[in-house]
Amino acid sequence: MTTHFVDDAVVLTGRSLRHILRSPDTIITTAVMPIAIMLMFVFIFGGAIDIGAQPYVDYMLPGILLITIASGISYTAFRLFLDMKGGIFERFQSMPIARSAVLWAHVLTSLVANLVSLAVVTGVALLLGFRSGAGVLPWLAVAGILVLFTLALTWIAVIPGLTAKTVDGASAFSYPLIFLPFLSSAFAPTDTMPGPVRWFAENQPVTSIVDTIRALLSGQPVGSDIWIALAWCVGILVVAYAGAMAIYRRRLS
């Protein structure tokens, strides 16, 4: 059964990836907005924000990476919605395919596409002067956190992809997720924010994730932030996965 599921997921993921290869503008569009935000903050707003001696591009890159993921997962909901409306799922039901493999194919496609977008954004950051003295292990830890965050948000994206009534409704859910890093420590220290905003910024998941990635890339101690970040990512992933699978089973029953 496990082998059957893995084989089906691999085949269906290949199908989804071929669709992206035929339409590379998906990855380009995903990367353009975070790059534009990065350019705007580095060259326009960065000089007005006091973050000490650290170059501003180094400070804000973790937040830009999370925005890249939040922007990219909207395409998962969009493609899933089109498959639902196009009757692809009903066609798959008549074939000997593991049901959950269909959803996992979309999720794994999202993961691959987002990793490519993250690499593109990081490359642009290097051109803007981003530098990191982190070793291999911290970079692997950063990659692991970004993968976990991508999976968590992608399973959130599956829910509107399955339940939305329109194409716009399927992808519009990502806008609050894209906006969330602006209400965190991604672009400015939280201690410069007014009381209620500061409380929200310090207690929402993006801040702990951003602070952890920033510390890893700069070679600083991560402290308890890494455990808080992992707890948020795993918690969101588990809840979103359970919700998405329940909706999926109900839709196909």
Mean pLDDT, residues 161-184: 84
pLDDT, one tens digit per residue, over 13-27 is 766 667 666 666 666
pTM for the model stands at 0.88
Per-residue pLDDT tens over the stretch 10-62:
666 766 667 666 666 666 677 788 888 889 888 887 777 777 778 889 999 99
Domain assignment of residue 23, given as a range: 2-252
- 105-122: per-residue pLDDT in tens? 888 888 888 898 899 999
Residue type at position 113: A
State the Rg of the chain over Cα. Answer: 19
- Confidence band, pLDDT 50/70/90 cuts, at residue 90: low
Domain count, the chain: 1
